[in-house]
A and B are shown apart, each in its own frame.
Chain A
Amino acid sequence: MKIGLALLVAAVLVLHHDIWNWKDASLVFGFLPVGLAYHVGYSLLASGTMAILVKFAWPKNLDDDDEVAA
């Protein structure tokens, strides 16, 4: 599981470098440059990745600290 999540994070970081869009000036929906549209999607992907990490890789011992503090 841990290795899978580490690979997911690594893949997301690599996906930031979308070299295939570097010189593409086409417009998505007629108004959004494809390079910008990709990174809007990337921001959503980042949020999704963090949701996955929170769900599957949240350090449980910190939650215990939370309960002790409460």
Chain B
Amino acid sequence: MIPALIVFAYLAVVLYIGIFAFRKGSTGSGEDFFVASRRLGPMVFLLSIFGTNMTAVAILGSSGFAYQRGIGVYALMASSSGIVIPLTLWLIGTRLWSLGKKHGHITQVQFLRDRWESGGIGTFIAIVTALMLVPYIIIGVMGGGSTLETISGGQVPYAIGGAIVAITVVAYVFFGGMRGTAWVNTFQTVLFLAFGVTAFTLIAKSVGGFPATMQAISEGPQSFLLTRERMPAEEFFSYMFIPLSAVMFPHIAIMCMTAEKVTHFKRTVVLYPICILLIWLPSVYLGVVASKVIPGLSPSEANDVIIRLLSQNTSPILAGVLGAGIMACVMASDSQILALSTVFTEDLFAYYGGRKKFGPKAEVWAGRTFIVLIGIVSYVIALALKEKANIFELAIRFAFSGFAALAPVMLAALFWKRSTKWGALAATVWVVGCVFANWHLTNISDAMAPKPPRRPAASAMRGGGAPGGPVAPQAGSTGAQSGSAPQVIGGPTPAPSGLQVTQGGSPEGMRPAGPGAGGPGGPGGPGGKKKPPTAVRIFPQLGDMFLRGPVNVTIFGFLPVFPMVVGSALLMLLVSLVTPPPSKATIDKYFSK
């Protein structure tokens, strides 16, 4: 129970920070509640915007993914984000900040509405982005419930755990608004960083040094984990487009408005890649190390591989600190709840007469009411659909591509005078259509998806019977101690595709092997000698156009995000050119120096 108590203490600290610690500067205005009066300092701005973007996936997901696919995961998800996200913050974030300050915008939709001279297009984009944000919040509550249940050894049931997490988050977002949320995120980011360093140091000691472990991996059957030989080049390329989503997320765009000075962005964009390095490098590296120390885990078991590694060294107190770190990961939904409430309040309630009818003071209370409603609805859904978490995880993957594909709309609005609302509408409709098409294709191809091979070694490991394996589960032990550590779900980074195209054995529908084909033990994970699963042609008559892997659909081997971004950009361009340009007044307003 000690770890659970430490986690409760952590929740109390978070509550204190969010509600009480930093309310001194509060003015009670809408701008104060939703964007902290645009007064965040440079370090809080950097750490909170980074913390908002980093969640469970950064530590747990990345190590689990690296366990299966090797060091390439760092390049795939971390170093690509390390260049693309700072570039978008520099290009888009700074402009949003400036326009927001000049014209009083709090959300990106307020800017787009004015820029396109159209309330309808703004409402459409507001609804689309709100819908794509909802699954993240639900997954956050689900993750909180299951994590607390596991950490407490089952003494805190899922329903109670979910309620505790939901109430904590809703409480500090309700009272603290953006200021409270930003400070909590700052605290959590410091915790992430400490987590990475602690894990790295502890595990290095326990495995007898990294050089020997790496040498053993390079000489064994898992040597592919030290390369990207089984990572399809098309997938690698596609992943470069995913970080475009960052600045299109409402919570990141709104956070861009909170900086006190535009110069705060300077430090943020320079240090952002370093922060990513500090968190992702230990996580990915340890995931690969684990393939030697704890071989044979299934993909879902691999999700908590870093906790399994730590479980060999942790005292109950350290296990509790570890649990707090995990809670920090799963509680990243705070800024998303606030963003959703801001979208409802500013883009819908205030815009459609609420501000005029009830006055500006009512905005804050409308926002708070939405926060409570979002919390309740998310909790009820998380409770009712507990067994269907995969639906929301899937929705998050699709939403990621959707947000990324909206980036051309924002770029055009900011930098291209000739761009029009019709171009924006066409691009947004395309994005929505693609998200649904992707969902549909994934659904209809579920039955034909290549199944990962069963891995008997994993069940042996679960019992803790192999040398170097996790400690065997004990009654009343914590998840972190038991080796059945919590599986944290959710987070604003897409789940790995898991698609590995390899030699197809079936005469029809299987894609033949090509360069870069083959899986990293893929869904089987490292240590196995079975062939990885193949990708299957969904419509054999269309050749490799639509391929189905174990997890998702690709288009000619590329993840859907790539054609979605290209299509959105093309539609924005072509439709804008054939429709009337915006008025001179609007162009003067947004493009005069």
Question: Which residues of A line the B interface, CB within 8 A?
Answer: 9, 12-13, 16-19, 21-27, 30-33, 35-36, 39-40, 42-44, 46-47, 49-51, 53-54, 58-59, 61-63, 65-66, 69-70
Q: Are A62 and B98 in contact (CB under 8 A)?
A: yes
Distance to closest chain B CB from A43 (angstroms): 4
Distance to closest chain A CB from B58 (angstroms): 14
Distance in angstroms between the alpha carbons of A21 and B233 in the assembled complex? 12
- Residues on the A chain within 8 Å of B86, using CB: 46, 50
State whether the Cβ of B584 lies closer than 8 Å to any Cβ in chain A.
no
State whether the Cβ of B237 lies closer than 8 Å to any Cβ in chain A.
yes
Q: Are B94 and A23 in contact (CB under 8 A)?
A: no
Distance in angstroms between the alpha carbons of A32 and B87 in the assembled complex? 28
Q: Give the most central of B102, B214, B240: most A CB within 10 Å.
A: B214
Distance in angstroms between the alpha carbons of A44 and B228 in the assembled complex? 21
Q: Is the interface of B mostly helix, strand, loop or mixed?
A: helix
Contact of A33 among B71, B97, B270 (CB under 8 A): B71
Contact residues on B (Cβ < 8 Å of other chain), bracket: 35 or more
Contact of B94 among A13, A25, A27, A62 (CB under 8 A): A62
Distance in angstroms between the alpha carbons of A13 and B74 in the assembled complex? 15
Stretch of B148-156, B277-285, B371-379 on the interface side? B277-285
Distance to closest chain A CB from B188 (angstroms): 22
Distance to closest chain A CB from B114 (angstroms): 17
Closest partner residue, chain A, to B267 (CB atom): A54
Contact of A66 among B226, B229, B263 (CB under 8 A): B263
- Residues on the B chain within 8 Å of A30, using CB: 211, 214-215
- Residues on the B chain within 8 Å of A47, using CB: 82, 270-274
Q: Give the most central of B224, B261, B516, B593: most A CB within 10 Å.
A: B261
Closest partner residue, chain A, to B219 (CB atom): A25
Q: Are B269 and A27 in contact (CB under 8 A)?
A: no
- Residues on the A chain within 8 Å of B8, using CB: none
- Residues on the B chain within 8 Å of A22, using CB: 227-229, 516
Distance in angstroms between the alpha carbons of A47 and B273 in the assembled complex? 6
Name 29 interchain pairs, CB-CB below 8 A, sorted by A. A13-B83, A16-B79, A16-B80, A17-B237, A25-B223, A25-B227, A26-B218, A27-B215, A27-B226, A31-B209, A31-B211, A32-B214, A35-B228, A36-B71, A36-B285, A40-B74, A42-B83, A43-B82, A43-B277, A46-B273, A50-B86, A50-B269, A50-B272, A58-B266, A59-B94, A62-B95, A62-B97, A62-B98, A66-B263
Q: A17-B233, A19-B233, A33-B214 are in contact. List 17 more A-B contacts (CB 8 A).
A: A16-B75, A23-B229, A27-B215, A30-B215, A31-B211, A33-B226, A33-B227, A42-B82, A42-B83, A46-B86, A54-B90, A54-B270, A61-B98, A61-B593, A63-B262, A63-B263, A65-B102
B42-81: CB near A (< 8 Å → 1, else 0) gives 0000000000000000000000000000011011001110
Distance to closest chain B CB from A13 (angstroms): 7
- Residues on the A chain within 8 Å of B228, using CB: 21-23, 35
- Residues on the A chain within 8 Å of B101, using CB: 65, 69
Q: Are B229 and A9 in contact (CB under 8 A)?
A: no
- Residues on the B chain within 8 Å of A50, using CB: 86-87, 90, 269-270, 272-273
Q: Are B284 and A36 in contact (CB under 8 A)?
A: yes
Q: Are A35 and B226 in contact (CB under 8 A)?
A: yes
Q: Are B214 and A27 in contact (CB under 8 A)?
A: yes
Closest partner residue, chain A, to B278 (CB atom): A43
State whether the Cβ of B276 lies closer than 8 Å to any Cβ in chain A.
yes
Q: Are A66 and B285 in contact (CB under 8 A)?
A: no
Q: Are B90 and A53 in contact (CB under 8 A)?
A: yes
Distance in angstroms between the alpha carbons of A51 and B269 in the assembled complex? 8
Distance in angstroms between the alpha carbons of A43 and B75 in the assembled complex? 9
Closest partner residue, chain A, to B276 (CB atom): A43
Closest partner residue, chain B, to A19 (CB atom): B233
Closest partner residue, chain A, to B89 (CB atom): A50
Closest partner residue, chain A, to B210 (CB atom): A31
Closest partner residue, chain B, to A24 (CB atom): B227
State whether the Cβ of B16 lies closer than 8 Å to any Cβ in chain A.
no
Q: Give the most central of B83, B218, B274, B276: most A CB within 10 Å.
A: B83
State whether the Cβ of B175 lies closer than 8 Å to any Cβ in chain A.
no
Q: Are B79 and A43 in contact (CB under 8 A)?
A: yes
